[in-house]
Amino acid sequence: MALLTLTLLLASCSSSSSASRGPSSSRLDQWGNRAGPSGFGTVVVDAGHGGKDSGAVSRRTGLVEKTLTLDLARRLRSELRGSFRVVMVRDSDAFVDLDDRVRIANKKDSVLVSIHFNAGSRRLAGPETYWWRVDSYTLAKRVQRNLTGVSAQDNSRGLVRRRLRLTRNPMVPCILVEGGYITNAREAKSLANPAYRAQLARAIAAALREQAAEGDGNLGPLPAFISAPPSRHGDARSS
């Protein structure tokens, strides 16, 4: 197993090496190759999109992503108060650049939860949780498990490893949550209901408290490290 891991590491290192990236960028990469967090005191809550960037908009269901993300972020803040210090990336209908979100997330002793809602084929429904780094895996797994417990919809990609600006670039454990598909008629009906959004917030908060108390716990084995450069504009979907 160790040999296999080493082989994968060597293979990925050699395939991703380039003249433009020096040793410092390799060290940046290694930040996420560690055990998952426990005992952290700060949660950075990122309401996706905002201002001129509406995110997904469904004319069919009337839902707008940037409005839902801020609502769920505020509900999550309420749920987390008392357990964590909460930093909101935005608390109004404001545009924040993705790289600025990364900078805001880089707080000592923190984890980042970025909140989004999905759009796609009208048949797709259910929450999804995105992660990339080894240190973010068990948090993503817990969040996805809890969200699945709340949602009656189960036709989504589920837990997804994807290199995004907000799953790769911060110096702290980081996940991106898609709370559901605004393009699915049944799920949109749930998402339009404040009581359902409160349930989603409680599910995410419970996962964060469990992660802080137990770290990786018994959710292992941890995934293999994949060496890859920081995500930049245009090289992955920006969610």
Among 55, 126, 170, 179, binds Zn ion (CB under 5 A): 55
Q: Does position 239 bind Zn ion by CB under 5 A? A: yes
- Whether the CB-CB separation of 34 and 138 falls below 8 Å is answered with no
> Which of the ranges 44-52, 84-92, 194-202, 203-211 carries the binding residues for Zn ion, by CB under 5 A?
44-52
Give residue for tokens 């949550």: 177
Task: Give the per-residue SS3 of 44-64.
Answer: EEEECCECCECCCECCCCCCE
**Interacting residues with Zn ion between 92 and 151 (CB under 5 A):** 116
Q: Does position 197 bind Zn ion by CB under 5 A? A: no
**Minimum distance from residue 48 beta carbon to Zn ion (Å):** 4
Residue 69 or 110: the one with the smaller Cβ distance to Zn ion is: 69
Dihedral sign from CA coordinates of 133, 211, 110, 147: positive
Task: List the structure tokens of 238.
Answer: 């920006």
Residue 77 or 116: the one with the smaller Cβ distance to Zn ion is: 116
Q: Does position 50 bind Zn ion by CB under 5 A? A: no
Q: Which residues contact 106 (CB under 8 A, 6 or more apart)?
A: 170, 171, 172
Q: Does position 58 bind Zn ion by CB under 5 A? A: no
| Total count of residues recorded for the chain | 239
Among 37, 48, 126, 173, binds Zn ion (CB under 5 A): 48
> Which of the ranges 18-26, 53-61, 81-89, 122-130 carries the binding residues for Zn ion, by CB under 5 A?
53-61
Beta-sheet strand order (sheet of 128-131): 85-88, 42-47, 110-118, 174-181, 128-131, 159-161
**Minimum distance from residue 237 beta carbon to Zn ion (Å):** 9
Residue 72 or 159: the one with the smaller Cβ distance to Zn ion is: 72
Footprint on this chain of Zn ion (rule: CB under 5 A): 48, 55, 116, 239
